[in-house]
């Protein structure tokens, strides 16, 4: 079921403006949806973990939510010891499957239980489908921070998404991921933002790029540098990275109240923007 822009308690105006649609999973879990038909087509989803927690505690809530999992996923879910980790893991699967099915739209030939999202050795999500008649599967990415889980599906070689809550803790680790030149560029281009917001934006962008392009790179953000930043209607960061050549990779970003969301896609053919 899809509904346009209802009031979702607790979500801010920026979230509702960006995620304009709502998908409701039984028993009554709300997921926000944002789609783009530009090439490569993609779909983003957002899930509120506080709402998921309430549904898991409700009578039959957990059993109904788990009907959206594949048998392998249900076995993995039952193996978690800590409720918080279990909730994040489940939220990631549900949000990602919602993005996949909304991306496919009326052409979807698979159901949520037929989709199984596993994990590679490096932690990247791996999508499989048990239906032999299923249509081609998209690239996927999952992220969570504090209250929210964000997921992405794209008709692309790979993709990466990251959501980060803005906190003062980012100031303690700035030397680990931001060069002085990057900090100056952020200050010059985004003077209306606070330092914590600018740094959170940069972290989210680099994390999204790492997931989408450098998921096999062991070192955090090694060689990833901010080249340019477009502060138009949409935030666009352009970053250089190892193996990327002279052309920087585009990372889109959006401010969602006290969070930043960043995402990128790697086109199916090398060199495609």
Report angle CA 92, 235, 140 to the nearest 5 degrees: 25
Average pLDDT, the chain: 91
CATH, range 163-266 = 3.90.470.20
DSSP character for 138?
P
CB distance 215 to 124 below 8 Å: yes
Could you please state the CATH topology (level 3) that the domain comprising 2-155 is classified under.
Ribosomal Protein L22; Chain A (3.90.470)
- Say if residue 93's pLDDT is above 90: yes
Residue 44 CA neighbour count, 13 Å, CB half: 25
Average pLDDT, integer, range 82-102: 97
Q: Can you say whether the dihedral through the CA atoms of 204, 209, 214, 215 is positive or negative?
A: positive
Question: Over the stretch 28-48, which tens digit does the pLDDT of each residue have?
Answer: 999 999 999 888 999 999 999
Per cent of the chain over pLDDT 90 is: 78
Question: Over the stretch 146-201, which tens digit does the pLDDT of each residue have?
Answer: 999 999 999 999 999 999 999 999 999 999 999 999 999 999 999 999 999 999 99
pLDDT of amino acid 218: 63
The pTM (predicted TM-score) of the whole model is 0.92
- Say if residue 215's pLDDT is above 80: no
pLDDT of amino acid 133: 62
pLDDT of amino acid 110: 87
Per cent of the chain over pLDDT 70 is: 92
pLDDT of amino acid 90: 98
pLDDT of amino acid 141: 98
CB distance 127 to 117 below 8 Å: yes
- The reply to whether 163-266 shares the fold of 2-155 is yes
Question: Over the stretch 225-271, which tens digit does the pLDDT of each residue have?
Answer: 999 999 987 899 999 998 888 899 999 999 999 999 999 998 764 33
Order of strands across the sheet with 29-36?
A: 2-4, 21-25, 29-36, 42-48, 148-154, 139-145
CA distance 100 to 218: 28
Q: What are the extents of the domains in the chain?
A: 2-155, 163-266
pLDDT of amino acid 166: 98
pLDDT of amino acid 107: 77
Higher per-residue confidence, 97 vs 121: 97
Higher per-residue confidence, 134 vs 258: 258
């Amino acid at each position: 079921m899809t509904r346009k822009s209802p009031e979702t308690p607790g979500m801010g105006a920026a979230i509702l403006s960006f995620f304009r649609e709502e998908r409701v999973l039984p028993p009554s879990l709300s997921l926000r949806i944002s789609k783009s038909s530009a090439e490569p087509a993609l779909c983003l989803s957002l899930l509120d973990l506080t709402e998921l927690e309430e549904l898991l505690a409700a009578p039959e809530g957990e059993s109904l939510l788990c009907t959206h999992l594949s048998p392998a996923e249900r076995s993995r879910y039952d193996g978690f010891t800590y409720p918080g980790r279990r909730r994040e893991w489940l939220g990631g699967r549900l949000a990602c499957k919602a993005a996949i099915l909304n991306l496919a739209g009326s052409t979807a030939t698979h159901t949520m239980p037929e989709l199984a999202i596993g994990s590679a050795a490096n932690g990247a999500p791996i999508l499989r489908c048990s239906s032999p008649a299923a249509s081609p599967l998209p690239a996927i990415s999952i992220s969570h921070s504090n209250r929210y889980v964000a997921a992405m599906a794209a008709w692309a070689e790979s993709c990466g998404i990251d959501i980060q809550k803005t906190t003062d803790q980012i100031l303690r680790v700035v030397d680990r991921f931001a060069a002085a030149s990057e900090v100056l560029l952020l200050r010059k281009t985004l003077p209306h933002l606070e330092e914590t917001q600018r740094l959170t934006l940069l972290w989210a962008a680099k994390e999204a790029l790492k997931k989408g392009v450098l998921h096999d790179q062991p070192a955090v953000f090694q060689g990833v540098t901010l080249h340019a930043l477009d502060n138009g209607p949409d935030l666009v960061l352009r970053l250089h990275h190892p193996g990327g050549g002279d052309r920087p990779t585009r990372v889109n970003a959006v401010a969602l109240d006290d969070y930043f969301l960043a995402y990128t896609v790697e086109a199916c053919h090398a060199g495609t923007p």
